């Protein structure tokens, strides 16, 4: 049975690296995969997934309102799709998560999604909330806080490197803008407590 997977983590855990490696493994065996990524994330260029360690691949950008079930079903009709990979899955709309679930349930295509669970304020992204609710399998990808504990939270930085406490949920960036923390040190930083 095909499943919908949600691989989630804080920033800098290697989610995109894992996605690219898994897609490569399918392709190396002669199977066709489709990689989707959020259109609003242009850090690697439009329609591109890239990892911090230099791996990259072309992808189909998705936006709110795109029917991902129809898109993949059409591609599958032309050339059988062995697996669908979604980078930046936190930016999926809830209805798109259901469309991906339908691909697994009705077309028998596994769907591997990779994304953040929470934003810089510790709130769930809408796409992540829906994935946590309906995905068949949840997999935590781990990274570490500066203290060595598992990082589950992320803090947003301004241009001067100071913690941002308010603002829009979506502000695409990488290492220059986000830092992973364990819950304790995230709370300390957000509340301006001296970090030990």
Does the active-site annotation cover 88? yes
HSE of 72, CA atoms in CB hemisphere, 13 A: 30
Instruction: Decide if 127 contacts 91 (C-beta within 8 A).
Output: yes
Of 88, 130, 159, 160, catalytic:
88
Instruction: Decide if 25 contacts 35 (C-beta within 8 A).
Output: no
Helices (H) and strands (E) in the chain, counts: 5, 13
**Would you mind telling me the total number of residues written for the chain in this entry?**
196
Nearest-10 crossing angle of helices 94-107, 68-78? 30
Instruction: Decide if 135 contacts 6 (C-beta within 8 A).
Output: yes
Which secondary structure element, helix H or strand E, spans residue 179, and what is its range?
strand 178-181
| Positions marked catalytic | 88
């Amino acid at each position: 049975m095909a499943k919908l997977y949600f691989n989630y983590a804080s920033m800098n855990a290697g989610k995109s690296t894992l996605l690219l490696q898994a897609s490569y493994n399918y392709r190396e065996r002669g199977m066709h995969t489709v990689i989707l990524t959020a259109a609003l994330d242009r850090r690697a260029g439009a329609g591109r997934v890239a990892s911090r360690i230099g791996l990259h691949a072309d992808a189909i950008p998705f936006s709110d309102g795109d029917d991902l079930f129809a898109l993949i079903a059409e591609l599958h009709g032309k050339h059988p799709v062995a697996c669908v990979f979604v980078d930046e899955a936190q930016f999926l709309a809830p209805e798109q998560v259901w469309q991906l679930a339908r691909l697994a349930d009705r077309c028998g295509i596994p769907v591997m999604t990779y994304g953040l669970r929470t934003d810089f304020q510790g709130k769930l992204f809408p796409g992540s909330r829906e994935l946590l609710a309906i995905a068949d399998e949840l997999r935590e990808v781990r990274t570490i806080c500066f203290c060595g504990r598992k990082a589950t939270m992320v803090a947003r930085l301004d241009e001067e490197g100071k913690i941002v406490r308010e603002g829009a949920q979506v502000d695409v960036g990488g290492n220059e803008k986000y830092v992973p923390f364990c819950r304790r040190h995230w709370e300390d930083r957000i509340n301006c407590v001296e970090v030990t």
